């Protein structure tokens, strides 16, 4: 990264408050693979010259996995503290690279008193492309087959299906849809706090079912919008011995390969 | 007044009373639920009713069954016109009361109903074939064994009998009209039933024809009355409840989870964000989430009675697809069956079902003091609940806007909050969230990814 990442605590006092808060999330902060996505997205934010900041150590888990697991006490504890932090910094607009953070901040926080405009990074990237703040050149993915995996919490939970596909068309990738896509998209298996436990007995893991479906499209790249889908499908590729040939990448990692200097 | 008229009126009375009773029971079962914070946007509500219930929008995700289903549905709706006439005829002793007053419109409408009935007949046979010969996988899941399978077949067979009744009635009628029998007014040309009449009934004597016409009429009528009484004990209530169920469907984004204000207030005062709450006495430790149907909302129970067990939810459930025990349809069926059971026990007014500590001479059994030692957890296992990825595929798939996910999540809340249960695997995550505010216990700082 060529530029320092601004911390909300450092810039909040300044007269020109950042336009948007980048909510990094647990995966984006700690998971080595997801950190790469975080850094790619920071590169995009810097390239577009949008003013932003992160919470750094002030950020805590949104409480999403606790709430979906059923642990409302824990969720309320985390969420109420986060809302306090966000309100102290007068945050009004938030972008996340994780659809779980996105969903919970956007849909669950208002009932607790946290009202923000929340967007997912694929939506921000699309709008930055639309209004010319982010300039990309096609060509890096010419002839590359890309299949796009809808995450449940961006797709069905919030109805965002087109922004990520719009981005894929702008980088001129050859988009091939899986059989189950958009409203019919199949979960990667991580949602509802499944990420943090073993599967119940069954015939197959859900990520393997989805991986097999993705492989049917014969892709060069599987594009995702969620750090947990990223883990699940990467694991699926490894299990299918395809991790050498097929890359599982977040949309922001595709974009940075096309950014015009 | 003829014997037939008296018989009809008696039957109408008995069926009316019985139907009133059983539909009041459905109402009472739905009332077992807690208040529901519905969706206030009226225009969205009506839009859902028009598009999803009347328009069957969601059925069209799967074209072929959607067309067959639409055929039966339109035929059913149109036949109601004929049914009004049948009731008027039955009471008055006339025959085809509408035929004389409506002119060309009458044969047109009857011809339309007959065309639709033929199509509905074909669709019904295809449905029977799909269920019993093709054995479409969503009809073959564990929860469909026994009664649910018979229930579905009974309804389809009933439909076939009803249509046979209609054509026997109309076919014989056209022959009687040709013979110029006084009681049978000229209906104008009925294309389908006159050819049925010509093929099957021509040359029969007057008595036999009248017998056939009456048998068809009574068969049609008894099938309709039969359906009316059968619906409340079958899976077929969706033909009525789809309308209120789509009207009251949740309008928030499907990713939203219902807030728990009581927990929020407790945590707020714990964090010093609100004045200290009065300490809870041990006698009134509240129950969180849903252990039983009485802790669900009435909309959850309405969902359960609206379900027609089509299994579109289960067919798209990632857990079910990969061989786990969870089936969203079964969850909904279990809620319904448990509501049946609770209502049955409440009706008995047996004081044995009153919670032991609340029993007393003047205490009447009601849903708030009810305790029979059973709950939803006797029907829905933890293995099912914890296999859910909360992906909303089942919610998206339901043609009548049932939400199985809400029930699953409310039951998880009960297990985790009230019983401190749940998968062991989650404990490290819970601990880490509590101690360090992140899902993994890591030594690195949250901003360690930032290059400095």
**Sheet bearing A52-54, strands edge to edge:** A52-54, A20-23, A93-96, A117-120
Looking at residue A60, which CATH number applies to its domain?
3.40.50.1860
For chain B, percent helix, then strand, then coil, each to nearest 5? 65, 0, 35
Q: Is residue B84 within 8 Å of B171, Cβ to Cβ?
A: no
- pLDDT given for residue B277 in this prediction: 66
The structure tokens listed for B177 are 């009209």
Residue of chain A minimizing CA distance to B383: A200
Is residue A261 pLDDT above 80, yes or no?
Answer: no
Cross-chain Cβ contact A57/B447 below 8 Å: yes
- B28, burial (CB in 10 Å: exposed 0-12, middle 13-18, buried 19+): middle
Is A33 an 8 Å CB contact of chain B? Answer: no
Shortest distance, CA B10 to any CA of chain A (angstroms): 52
Residues of B within 8 A of A201 (CB-CB) are 323-325, 383
Domain locations in chain B as residue ranges: 3-30+62-247, 287-436
Beta strand segments in B35-78, E = none
**Sheet bearing A145-148, strands edge to edge:** A174-175, A145-148, A221-224, A247-250
Residue A241 lies in a domain: yes
Shortest distance, CA A26 to any CA of chain B (angstroms): 6
Residue A52 lies in a domain: yes
Give first-to-last CA distance, chain A, whole Å: 14
- pLDDT given for residue B103 in this prediction: 86
Digit-coded pLDDT (tens) for A83-117: 999 999 999 999 999 999 999 999 999 999 999 99
CA distance B165 to B212: 9
Residue A1 lies in a domain: no
Residues of A within 8 A of B422 (CB-CB) are 69-71
Same structural domain for residues A228 and A170?
yes
Listed residue (A74, A71, A68, A210) closest to A147, CA to CA: A210
Q: To 10 degrees, what angle do helices B328-348 and B404-413 make?
A: 70
Could you say which of A127, A161, A193 is where a domain stops? A127
Is A9 an 8 Å CB contact of chain B? Answer: no
CA distance A94 to A114: 12
Considering only CB atoms, A204 lies closest to which of B322, B386, B449, namely B322
Looking at residue A165, which CATH number applies to its domain?
3.40.50
- pLDDT given for residue B284 in this prediction: 61
The CA angle A29-A31-A33, to the nearest 5 degrees, is 115
Residue A218 lies in a domain: yes
The distance of Cα B253 from the centroid of its chain, to the nearest Å, equals: 23
CA distance B119 to A52: 62
The distance of Cα A218 from the centroid of its chain, to the nearest Å, equals: 24
Residue A44 lies in a domain: yes
Considering only CB atoms, A157 lies closest to which of B61, B255, B289, namely B255
Give first-to-last CA distance, chain B, whole Å: 99
Same structural domain for residues A142 and A243?
yes
Same structural domain for residues A119 and A202?
no
Residues of A within 8 A of B319 (CB-CB) are 200, 202, 206
Residues of B within 8 A of A104 (CB-CB) are 255
Same structural domain for residues A163 and A108?
no
Residue A3 lies in a domain: no
Same structural domain for residues A153 and A83?
no
Same structural domain for residues A165 and A204?
yes
Could you say which of A127, A157, A186 is where a domain stops? A127
What is the per-residue DSSP string for B116-181?
A: HHHHHHHHHHHHHHIIIII--GGGSSGGGTTHHHHHHHHHHHHHHHHHHHHHHHHHHHHHHHHTT-
Average model confidence (pLDDT) for chain A? 95
CA distance B290 to B409: 9
Residue A187 lies in a domain: yes
Dihedral sign for Cα atoms in the order A163, A165, A166, A167 = positive
Same structural domain for residues A96 and A157?
no
CA distance B317 to B45: 27
Burial B325-349, CB ≥16 within 10 A → b, else e: bbbbbbbbbbbbebbbebbebbeee
Could you say which of A92, A127, A162 is where a domain stops? A127
CA distance A151 to A230: 10
The domain B287-436 is placed in CATH, from the list 2.40.128, 3.30.200, 1.10.150, 1.10.1060, at: 1.10.1060
> CB-based contacts of A151: which residues, under 8 Å, 6+ apart?
A99, A185, A188, A224, A225, A226, A228, A229
- pLDDT given for residue A144 in this prediction: 94
CA distance B383 to B423: 9
Dihedral sign for Cα atoms in the order B52, B55, B59, B62 = negative
Count of domains forming chain A: 2
- pLDDT given for residue A138 in this prediction: 83
For B22, B75, B305, the CA distances from B234, given in Å and listed in that order, are: 12, 21, 9
**Owning domain of residue A151:** 136-255
Considering only CB atoms, B416 lies closest to which of A5, A27, A71, namely A71
CA distance B339 to B33: 9
SS3 B202: coil
What is the per-residue DSSP string for B212-259?
A: HHHHHHHHHHHHHHHHHHHGGGSGGGHHHHHHHHHHT---S-TT----
Residue A260 lies in a domain: no
- pLDDT given for residue B34 in this prediction: 96
Is A49 an 8 Å CB contact of chain B? Answer: no
Q: Which residue has the higher pLDDT, A163 or A1?
A: A163
Cα atoms found within 13 Å of the Cα of residue B254, Cβ hemisphere only: 24
The CA angle B134-B138-B142, to the nearest 5 degrees, is 110
For chain B, list residues with pLDDT below 70.
39, 277-285, 452
């Amino acid at each position: 990264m060529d530029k320092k990442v601004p911390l909300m605590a450092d810039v909040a006092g300044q007269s020109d408050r950042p336009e948007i808060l980048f909510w990094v999330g647990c995966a984006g902060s700690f998971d080595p693979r997801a950190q790469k996505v975080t850094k790619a997205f920071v590169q995009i934010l810097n390239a577009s010259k949008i003013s932003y900041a992160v919470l750094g150590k002030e950020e805590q888990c949104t409480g999403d996995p606790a709430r979906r697991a059923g642990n409302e006490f824990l969720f309320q504890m985390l969420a109420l503290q986060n809302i306090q932090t966000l309100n102290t910094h007068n945050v009004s607009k938030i972008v996340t690279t994780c659809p779980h953070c996105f969903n919970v901040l956007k849909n669950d926080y208002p009932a607790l008193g946290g009202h923000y405009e929340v967007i997912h990074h694929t939506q921000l990237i699309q709008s930055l492309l639309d209004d010319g703040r982010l300039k990309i050149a096609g060509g890096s993915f010419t002839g590359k087959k890309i299949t796009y995996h809808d995450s449940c919490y961006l797709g069905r939970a919030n109805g965002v299906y087109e922004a990520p596909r719009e981005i894929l068309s702008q980088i001129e990738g050859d988009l091939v849809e899986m059989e189950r896509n958009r409203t019919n998209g199949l979960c990667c298996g991580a949602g509802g706090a499944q990420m943090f436990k073993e599967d119940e007995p069954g015939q197959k893991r859900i990520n393997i079912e989805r991986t097999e479906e993705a492989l049917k499209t014969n892709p060069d790249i599987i594009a995702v919008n969620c750090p947990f889908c990223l883990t699940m499908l990467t694991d699926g590729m490894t299990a299918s011995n395809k991790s050498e040939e097929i890359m599982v990448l977040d949309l922001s990692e595709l974009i940075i390969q096309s950014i015009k200097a | 007044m003829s014997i037939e008229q008296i018989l009809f009126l008696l039957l109408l009375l008995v069926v009316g009373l019985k139907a009133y009773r059983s539909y009041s029971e459905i109402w009472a079962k739905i009332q077992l639920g807690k208040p529901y914070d519905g969706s206030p946007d009226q225009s969205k509500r009506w839009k859902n009713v028009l598009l999803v219930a009347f328009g069957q929008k969601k059925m069209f995700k799967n074209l072929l069954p959607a067309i067959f289903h639409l055929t039966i549905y339109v035929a059913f709706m149109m036949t109601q016109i004929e049914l009004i006439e049948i009731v008027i005829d039955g009471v008055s002793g006339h025959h085809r009361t509408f035929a004389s007053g409506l002119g060309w419109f009458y044969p047109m409408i009857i011809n339309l109903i007959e065309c639709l009935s033929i199509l509905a007949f074909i669709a019904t046979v295809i449905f029977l074939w799909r269920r019993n010969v093709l054995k479409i996988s969503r009809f073959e899941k564990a929860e469909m064994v026994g009664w649910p399978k018979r229930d579905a077949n009974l309804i389809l067979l009933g439909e076939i009998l009803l249509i046979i009744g209609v054509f026997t009635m109309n076919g014989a009628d056209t022959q009687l009209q040709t013979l110029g029998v006084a009681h049978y007014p000229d209906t104008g040309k009925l294309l389908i039933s006159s050819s049925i009449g010509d093929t099957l009934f021509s040359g029969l004597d007057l008595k036999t024809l009248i017998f056939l016409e009456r048998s068809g009429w009574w068969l049609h009528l008894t099938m309709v009355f039969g359906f009316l009484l059968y619906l409340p004990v079958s899976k077929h209530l969706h033909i009525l409840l789809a309308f209120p169920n789509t009207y009251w469907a949740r309008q928030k984004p499907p990713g939203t989870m219902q807030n728990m204000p009581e927990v929020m207030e407790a945590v707020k005062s714990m964090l010093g964000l609100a004045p200290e709450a009065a300490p809870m006495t041990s006698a009134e430790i509240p129950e969180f989430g849903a252990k039983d149907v009485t802790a669900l909302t009435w909309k959850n129970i309405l969902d359960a009675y609206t379900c027609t067990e089509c299994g579109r939810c289960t067919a798209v459930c990632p857990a079910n697809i990969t061989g786990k025990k969870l089936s969203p349809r079964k969850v909904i069926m279990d809620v319904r069956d448990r509501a049946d059971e609770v209502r049955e026990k409440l009706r008995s007014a047996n004081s044995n079902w009153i919670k032991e500590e609340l029993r007393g001479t003047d205490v009447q059994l009601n849903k708030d003091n009810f305790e029979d030692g059973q709950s939803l957890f006797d029907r829905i296992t933890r293995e099912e609940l914890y296999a859910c990825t909360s992906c909303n595929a089942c919610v998206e798939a339901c043609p009548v806007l049932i939400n199985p996910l809400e029930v699953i999540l409310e039951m998880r809340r009960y297990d985790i909050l009230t019983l401190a249960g749940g998968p062991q695997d989650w404990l490290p995550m819970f601990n880490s969230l509590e101690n360090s505010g992140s899902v993994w216990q890591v030594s690195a700082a949250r901003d360690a990814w930032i290059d400095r």
